[in-house]
Amino acid sequence: MAKRLAKHRSRPITKKKGAAVRRTTIDNSGSDGKGGLPVPRPFLRWAGGKQRLAGSLLEFVPQNDEYKRYFEPFFGGGAVFFAIQPEQAILSDSNNELINCYRQVQANPKVVSALVRRYAKRDSSSFFYNIRDGNHKARTKVAKAARFIYLNKAAFNGIYRVNRKGKFNVPYGPSENGPAVPNCVALVAASGCLKRARIVAGDFEFVVRNANRGDLVYLDPPYPPRSDTAYFVHYSADRFGWDEQLRVAKVFRRLARRGCLVMLSNADQKKVVSLYKGFYVHRLNATRWLGSNGDRFRVREIVVTNYVPAKMP
Ligand SMILES: C[S@@+](CC[C@H](N)C(=O)[O-])C[C@H]1O[C@@H](n2cnc3c(N)ncnc32)[C@H](O)[C@@H]1O
């Protein structure tokens, strides 16, 4: 199996004419280190988001000229996408509000920014609960995107969690200096990068059915809970249970058979690792804290690939 998979590395993928091979380094300065051009970066805080791990994850991602299109079907905050800035991408998530937000930032970053600023100016606990509980309805798609960004930044720990009826239910809890909403420069920079992507709402399995030989697919599903009864992150009204982990593993195998380059992040749990026999399972040195409120705990991470990464850490 290993030999067959290793073939992926040597199969040449023709570089498209004019396709830039870009890769950003991860820093927090807001500049590209070459004169202050704004660097596109994630502008939402997302539970399970890989922003802090992006540096380590990049070691496993093929260079931009080694694959055709980039698929990220569990997009969330999009840390890996913004770090690698692929030339052509298909980005998706099952969270409709999140996808609307990216589409609006893609098309109308300045309008979204102006509306977000308006929300942020009026920030207070009572304003937050009015906005959260729908007393001030955002009617247009662009207003909904701005509302989403404000709530994401003003809610406790930037968590997105919904109750069983699908209603956002995270309490107020911005950082010390108020909600750290992205400014216009940040949203315009993100928009530039998103313009090279098709952004779709939907289930991961449905979206990657169009991935072909030579495409890179990065799967970053919600992690399994520590126990069968503890669901620590609720991204949507549908819980991501063990059956879903099995479905992810099936999709991983299907894509690998089709000749895609496939990379997956997940928790370093025996049960999870056993789903990826025959593939390359790498352990990240970094650990992360996951969970919300008082229920925070450490998670060790694995990265599974069906190819040998060029730069093994
Ligand atoms: C671990 S997070 C992804 C984090 C992301 N990689 C980042 O860096 O921010 C998992 C994402 O999967 C999405 N999701 C959950 N179930 C899904 C499904 N069936 N299909 C597609 N996306 C799903 C959630 O909305 C969430 O955004």
pLDDT in tens, 257-276: 999 999 999 999 999 999 99
Report whether residue 240 contacts ligand 1, using a CB cutoff of 6 Å: yes
Report the nearest atom of ligand 1 relative to the CA of 48: 1
Report whether residue 93 contacts ligand 1, using a CB cutoff of 6 Å: yes
Q: CA 147, CA 132: separation in Å to the nearest integer?
A: 9
Report whether residue 49 contacts ligand 1, using a CB cutoff of 6 Å: yes
CA distances from 128 to 47, 124, 143, 301, 309 (A): 20, 6, 15, 34, 45
Report whether residue 77 contacts ligand 1, using a CB cutoff of 6 Å: yes
Q: CA 59, CA 310: separation in Å to the nearest integer?
A: 8
Low-confidence ranges of the chain (pLDDT < 70): 1-37, 135-136, 226-238, 286-297, 311-313
Query: Could you tell me if 215 and 90 lie in one domain?
Result: yes
Q: CA 39, CA 32: separation in Å to the nearest integer?
A: 6
Query: Could you tell me if 86 and 235 lie in one domain?
Result: yes
Query: Could you tell me if 157 and 134 lie in one domain?
Result: yes
* Residue 15 domain flag: yes
* Confidence (pLDDT) at 213: 98
pLDDT tens-digit readout, 44-86: 998 889 998 999 999 999 999 999 999 999 999 999 999 999 9
* Confidence (pLDDT) at 138: 72
Query: Could you tell me if 65 and 104 lie in one domain?
Result: no
Domain termination site, one of 170, 190, 210: 190
Query: Could you tell me if 33 and 46 lie in one domain?
Result: yes
* Confidence (pLDDT) at 178: 84
Q: CA 172, CA 161: separation in Å to the nearest integer?
A: 13
221 neighbors 248 (Cβ within 8 angstroms) = yes
* Confidence (pLDDT) at 98: 96
* Confidence (pLDDT) at 176: 81
What domain range is 162 assigned to?
Answer: 97-190
Report whether residue 76 contacts ligand 1, using a CB cutoff of 6 Å: yes
Query: Could you tell me if 27 and 70 lie in one domain?
Result: yes
Question: Structure tokens of 92?
Answer: 């998706």
155 neighbors 172 (Cβ within 8 angstroms) = yes
Report the nearest atom of ligand 1 relative to the CA of 44: 9
CATH number at residue 178: 1.10.1020.10
Query: Could you tell me if 160 and 69 lie in one domain?
Result: no
Q: How far is the CA of 121 from the centre of ligand 1 (A)?
A: 30
Query: Could you tell me if 116 and 262 lie in one domain?
Result: no
Number of domains in the chain: 2
CATH number at residue 87: 3.40.50.150
* Residue 196 domain flag: no
